[in-house]
Amino acid sequence: MLNNLLFSALILAATSTPTADIPVGRFSHSDMTGWSDKAVKGKTSYSIEDGVLKAHANKAASGKIKKLSVDTKKYPILTWSWKIEHTLQHEDVTKKQGNDFAARVYVIFPRTFFWRMRAINYVWSAKMPKGSEAKSPHAANSVIVAVESGDEKVGKWVSEERNVYEDYKRIFGEEPPLMGGVAIMTDTDDTQDEVTAWYGDITLRGAEKP
């Protein structure tokens, strides 16, 4: 009887225990461990203030990146929160001269050759319809996904959740390689604008075990 109860308990645990989450950005703990600068053009200012990461860009573009190797089939859900001061009215996703966004969260997938590296670029867009997608004018293997759009939520904290594993399969039509990193960027070098954005904690959430 005891053995049967123990066996049942083990089966229940195996079917309901989720994989532990991966804390990618622990800004609420003032922790920037593992994050490094990614220069593009000029320099966006990043600083921890009141438990969030503040980004300020004035006709500049640079990002922060954290390299990590993750199987998105096991950790498919990316969550984060963000807030922006305003959208960029000269944004134009079809042109290099307009490819700026007030806030971006990248997920990067390295491949054998650098030019085959792929990225999903989640953005807060001024003009792209929410949920729409477009290829980056700078890189054919980088796809932009408008998670938020317009000014309705400007000045408010918004929480986001994306299934990166399913997004990759839908966008690129194949199983994803290991994720190589997560990056954030607030950029205004193309639109010659100025904007402030704020980023909350970023987490990769594990899938529940079958």
Give the mean model confidence (pLDDT) for residues 24-36: 96
pTM: 0.88
Q: Is the residue at 7 inside a domain?
A: no
Contact 6, 201 (CB under 8 A): no
The C-alpha atoms of residue 91 and residue 99 are separated, in whole angstroms, by: 6
pLDDT at 15 exceeding the cut of 80: no
Is residue 210 in a domain?
no
In a domain, 80, yes or no: yes
Asked whether residue 90 carries a pLDDT value surpassing 60, the answer given is yes
Q: Is residue 4 part of a domain?
A: no
Give φ, ψ of 108 to 5 degrees.
-110, 135
Report yes or no on 11 lying in a domain. Answer: no
pLDDT of residue 14 exceeding 60: no
- Arithmetic mean of pLDDT over the chain: 89
Q: Is the pLDDT of residue 16 over 60?
A: no
pLDDT tens per residue across span 153-205: 999 999 999 999 999 999 999 999 999 999 999 999 999 999 999 999 999 99
Task: Judge whether 55 lies within some domain.
Answer: yes
Give me the helices (H) in 34-151, please: none
Predicted pLDDT of residue 209: 55
Residue 14 lies in a domain: no
Residue 63, helix vs strand vs coil: strand
For residue 111, being part of any structural domain is answered with yes
Residue 54 structural domain? 20-205
R_g over Cα of the chain: 19
Q: Is residue 35 over pLDDT 80?
A: yes
**Which tens digits make up the pLDDT trace of 134-158?**
998 888 789 999 999 999 999 999 9
Number of domains the chain is built from: 1
Q: What is the CATH number of the domain that holds 28?
A: 2.60.120.560
157 three-class SS: coil
Residue 19 has pLDDT above 90, yes or no: no
